[in-house]
Chain A
């Protein structure tokens, strides 16, 4: 079991730059989720895919954020024109296709905006 893999682990960039993160879920998992976590807080839901379909997006996901899962396997999360407030840990999780299954999290990508 290779688990959920995220890349890169750390990203440091200047304000205004675009960044893209990748998530590879557990291979047999249909569902994929993106969360954002800031220091001392719980993960906040951003968006959710079932296979390649993006089924829900949080109001936290401004128009600068876009996520894709083109073939129903790996997913990318892009942030355009980054701002200081985007600094956070971006966590990806996956779960099997049935409802209310445990979510398996990756190690996250820590984004720091200079």
Chain B
């Protein structure tokens, strides 16, 4: 079945350092979504990428969708303590509609 994998599982950074998480799917995706889950909270939608090679920016966050639509990355420039949380990528479950297959997430910890 479809698998979505993320690396690294954990990342500790000093405040101000950059951070990147990588997402790989075993199948080609029609789109990919990114969510953030704060400790003790629920996943919150960040962005959706649809086109091959697409790059989108949200302030210090840069999201990329690979040319083959099988991988994606999230890069945070100059991390802040408010960036703490787990970042998940998710693709359509078996590429069918809205059901999502989530990656295992990358937990980001930021030292002030």
Contact = CB atoms under 8 A, between A and B. Distances in A.
Q: Do A and B bind each other?
A: yes
Given A100-B92, A107-B41, A44 B48 contact: no
Interface residues of B, number: 27
Interface of B: 4, 9, 30-31, 33, 41-45, 48, 50, 88, 90, 92-93, 96-105, 107
Contact of A102 (B33, B99, B102, B103): B33
Q: Size band of the A side of the interface?
A: 20 to 34
Nearest to A105: B42
B93 A100 contact: no
B64 to A, nearest CB: 18
B31 A100 contact: yes
B39 to A, nearest CB: 12
Nearest to B44: A105
A107 B98 contact: no
B5 to A, nearest CB: 10
Contacts, number: 65
Nearest to B1: A59
Contacts of B100: 33, 43, 45, 103
A20 B50 CA distance: 37
Contacts of B104: 40-42
A109 to B, nearest CB: 11
B28 to A, nearest CB: 15
Nearest to B45: A102
12 contacts: A40-B9, A42-B105, A45-B100, A45-B101, A55-B97, A56-B93, A56-B99, A100-B50, A100-B97, A102-B33, A102-B48, A107-B42
Nearest to A42: B102
A63 B85 CA distance: 34
Interface in A32-67: 33, 35, 40-45, 48, 55-56
A31 to B, nearest CB: 6
A56 B101 CA distance: 13
